[in-house]
Structure 1
Amino acid sequence: MALLTMNTESKYLRANQAFSMILPDMPRECDPTDFYSEHRALPVVWLLHGTFGDHTDWVRRTNVERYAAKKRVAVVMPSGMNTSYSNWSRAMLGYDMYDHVLHELMPLVHNWFPVSDRREDNFIAGLSMGGRGALKFAVNNPERFAAAAALSASPRDFATLTPEYLVESGPVAERFARAIENAGGLDAYLASEENTWRVIDERAASGTLPRLLFACGGDDAYVMDDLRPFQDHARQLGLDAEFQIRDGFDHEWDFWDLAIQDALDFFGLPDVAEDRV
C-alpha cells in the first residue's frame, strides 16, 4: 500500500491540518505507466480515531493497511483532536471539525485523488469518540455514505440524561457538559446533529439512512449500557442495523483490529488481492 500524510491549511479549523491516507499499491503484473495514468474510482473508507488520538492511530495500532490492501480500497484518516468531530466555533479562533470533514476534507480527497465520490462507494467508521463521529456524519448526511460502522460507540437516549450525570467527574461526562454548553444549552444540543438518537428516529421511516453496524466488546460495560437499550429501540424501529458483540473484549485495540475487518466486510467490499510478502 501507499501510505500518505498530507498537511494543508484549513479554512474551517483556522490552522494547518494533517491527515493520513492509504492507497492501493500497483499490482506487480501491471505496467506502471498504464496503472498510474488510468483513472481509478476507488471506494473510500473514512476512518476516525478516538479520544486522545490522531490521524496515525489506526495505522500504528492495527493492521488496517493490510486489510485495505486486500480490498483495494482507499482509507482516509483525519485528525479530530478531542472535538467529538463537532463544530467548536468559540474555541480559539474557531475549530469547526464537523464542517471541515464534510465541506473541506471530502471535496479535497474526492477531487485530488483517484477515488469515487459516489454514495455507494463511500463508507465511514470509527472507534469510541470516532464511532460516535462516524454515526453522526452518516445519519445526518445519508446522501454521502452507503454504510457506517460505530465501533465501541452507541447513540444515547438523552431522555435518560440526569442533571447528576453532567456533574460527575471524568472526561466523558465533562465532554458532554462542554458540548451542551458549546451548542448553546441542552435544548439546542438535542435539536442539533449531535443527537443521533433523534435523527435516527426521524429518518428511519423514510428508508434513507445508510446501513449501520454497531460492534462492541462484551466486557465494555460503559458502551454496552447505552448499546443494549439502543439495540432494543432499533428493533422496534425496524432499523437496517447489525449488532456484533464479541465477548472477552473491552475498550481496546485488540478488539478494534478485529472490528475494522468486520466493518470492511459489512460494507460489502470483496477481497480482490492477496497479502504481499
Structure 2
Amino acid sequence: MALMQCDFYSETLGVSASMNVILPQRTTTQIGMSSASSGETRHPVLYLLHGLSDDHTIWLRRTSIERYVAPLGIAVVMPAVGRSFYANMKQGYDYWDFISEELPALARSFFPISEKREDNFVAGLSMGGYGAFKLALSHPDRFAAAASLSGALDARFFIQEHEEEAARIFGSMSEFNGSGNDLFHLAKLRAAEGSAKLPQLYQCCGTEDFLYEDNVKFRDEALRLGLPLTYDEGPGEHEWGYWDHHIQRVLEWLPLAK
C-alpha cells in the first residue's frame, strides 16, 4: 500500500485543507502484509470520515486500517472537516459543499480512483457516521454503500447539549428539523422515492454507548421505511477498540466487485 498526506487549497473553504489517502499497491515481497491491486486504472474508494474531536489522521493512528484494506485493492480517502458535522455552517465554512462536491472531484484529479457509483463507498464513526449516512442518503446516485459506526445519527442530541456551538453549525432546532441535515427527513425522502438504487446501509453501535438509544431510534425508522439496512449491535462503548474491530466487519460487508 501507498500512504499519502495531501495538503491542498480548497476553493470552497477558502483555506488550505488536508486528507490522508491510502492507495492499493500490488506487492509480492513485502513482509507481514498481503497487498493487492485490482489491476484497474481507477480503484474503488472508501471515504472514511472522522468524529467530532478528531481529524484526517485519526483512523491511521487508532486502527490498522492500512493493513485491513491492503488485500482488498481499495483506496481510502480520509479528509479533515473540523467540528462541522459535515454541514454548511451557519457561522463558519461550507463543509457540506466541500465534502460532497469539491473533495471527491479533487481526489479523483489527484489520484487514480473511480467515479463509478458501484465503486464508491463511505463510512465513519460518531459524527463521521452521521456524515456517511448524510452523503449516501443525499446522493444515492453516487454511493453504493455507507456504514455508520456508533453514529451521531440524530443530531438533535448535539443541538440540545451544545446549544451555542450547534447554533453556529445548524441554526435553531426549527431550522434543523426537516432540512438536509436531518437524517430522519432524508430517510423518508429516499423511501418515498422508492428508488431501486438506494445505497446499502450498515449500522453498528455498542449497547453501552451513550449514542445507543439514538441508534436504535434510527434503526427502527429505517426498517419501518424499508431502507436496505444491515444492523449490528453488541457490547461496546464509544471507544477505539470497538471501532477498530467493527471497521473490519464493514470492510467484509462492502459490496466490492470480485
The normalised TM-score by structure 1 is: 0.82
Which position in structure 2 is the counterpart of 1:55?
56
1:233 equivalent to 2:224? Answer no
Residue of structure 2 aligned with 1:116, choices 95, 114, 122: 114
Q: 2: distance between equivalents of 1:121 and 1:198? A: 26
Partners of 2:128 and 2:155 in 1: how far apart?
18
Structure 2 counterparts to residues 63-82 of structure 1, below 5 A: 63-82=64-83
Residue 208 of structure 2 aligns with an amino acid whose one-letter code is: D
Contact map agreement 2:219 2:231 (CA 8 A) in 1: yes
Name the % identity. 38
User: How many angstroms apart in 2 are the aligned matches of 1:177 and 1:195?
Assistant: 18
Query: How far apart in 2 are the matches of 1:71 and 1:251?
Result: 27
- Counterpart contact for 2:145–2:255, Cα < 8 Å: no
C-alpha displacement of 1:141: 1.0
- Seen in structure 2, the aligned counterparts of structure 1 residues 234 and 39 have a Cα distance that, compared at 3 Å, is closer
Change (3 A) 1:155 1:52: closer
> 1:1-277, aligned counterparts within 5 Å?
1-28=1-28, 40-88=41-89, 90-91=91-92, 95-156=93-154, 173-174=161-162, 178-180=165-167, 182-205=169-192, 206-207=194-195, 208-220=197-209, 222-247=210-235, 249-269=236-256
The runs of 4+ residues in structure 1 deviating greater than 6 Å are: none
Deviations 1:226-264 (A, max 9, x none): 1222222222222210111121x1001011011111111
Structure 1 residue ranges without an equivalent (≥5): 30-35, 168-172, 273-277
* SS of aligned partner of 1:107: helix
User: In the aligned structure 2, how far is the partner of 1:216 from the partner of 1:98?
Assistant: 25
Aligned to 1:32: none
The residue aligned with 1:33 is none
CA shift for structure 1 position 117: 0.3
Cα distance in structure 1, aligned partners of 2:253 and 2:164: 34
Read off the aligned partner of 1:77 and give its amino acid letter: M
2:241 counterpart letter in structure 1: D
Q: TM-score, normalising length from structure 2?
A: 0.88
Contact 1:20 1:76 in 2 (8 A): yes
Shift of 1:181: 5.2
Deviates more, 1:232-241 or 1:17-26: 232-241
**In 2 relative to 1, CA 157–27 (structure 1 residues): closer, same or farther, beyond 3 Å?**
closer
Asked if the contact 1:154/1:230 (under 8 Å) is kept, the reply is: no
3-state SS, counterpart of residue 81 of structure 1: coil
In 2, distance between residues paired with 1:50 and 1:212?
19
The answer to whether the 8 A contact 1:180-1:189 is kept is: no
1:209 to 1:46, Cα distance in 2 relative to 1, 3 A: same
Q: Which has the larger radius of gyration?
A: 1
**How far, CA to CA, are the matches of 2:74 and 2:131 in structure 1?**
21
Residues 13 and 94, structure 2, Cα contact 8 Å, conserved in 1: yes
Cα shift at 1:42:
0.7
Q: Deviations over 1:19-48 (max 9, x none)?
A: 10000123238xxxxxx9x76221000000
Question: C-alpha root-mean-square deviation of aligned residues, in Å?
Answer: 2.4
Task: Give the C-alpha shift of residue 166 in structure 1.
Answer: 5.4
How much does 1:154 deviate? 4.9
Once the two structures are overlaid, the 10-residue window that deviates more, 56-65 or 199-208, is: 199-208
Relative to structure 1, the CA distance from residue 103 to residue 63 in structure 2 (aligned partners, 3 Å threshold; closer, same or farther) is same
